[in-house]
């Protein structure tokens, strides 16, 4: 039961080509309203424990180069990109 409650429904993928982009890391940390991205010394870090707070606002997608960030909705097998 506890395991079911802790299930993660959102997965975020950051392409390797942009993971080390310091400007993007800062931008993503700034735009995501629920702190899913962290600027880890110039690298994009995904804060796993915040993933299920995602409100599907697309701000991270719009802040990134096309295809660089994907927000996957695991519950219906679709994604924002
Ligand atoms: S869609 Fe919005 S809430 Fe979800 S990770 Fe992107 S910026 Fe954050």
Domain boundaries in the chain?
2-80
- d(C-alpha 20, C-alpha 71), whole Å: 18
**Best mutation site among 28, 48, 56 for ligand 1, i.e. most ligand atoms within 8 A of its Cβ?**
56
Report percent pLDDT > 90 for the chain: 88
Contact yes or no for 50/35 (Cβ under 8 A): yes
The pLDDT of residue 21: 98
* DSSP designation for 71: E
The pLDDT of residue 8: 76
Q: pTM value?
A: 0.90
47-75 pLDDT per residue, tens: 999 999 999 999 999 999 999 999 999 99
The pLDDT of residue 81: 83
Q: Which atom of ligand 1 sits closest to the CA of residue 53?
A: 3
From the candidate CATH numbers 3.20.20.10, 3.90.1170.50, 3.30.70.20, 3.40.630.30, the one assigned to the domain spanning 2-80: 3.30.70.20
């Amino acid at each position: 039961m506890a395991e079911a409650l802790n299930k993660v429904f959102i997965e975020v993928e950051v392409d390797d080509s942009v993971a080390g982009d310091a400007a993007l890391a800062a931008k993503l940390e700034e735009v995501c309203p629920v702190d899913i991205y962290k600027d880890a010394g110039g690298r994009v870090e995904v804060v796993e424990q915040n993933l299920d707070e995602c409100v599907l606002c697309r701000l991270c997608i719009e802040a990134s180069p096309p295809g660089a960030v994907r927000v996957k909705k695991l519950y219906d097998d679709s994604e924002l990109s």
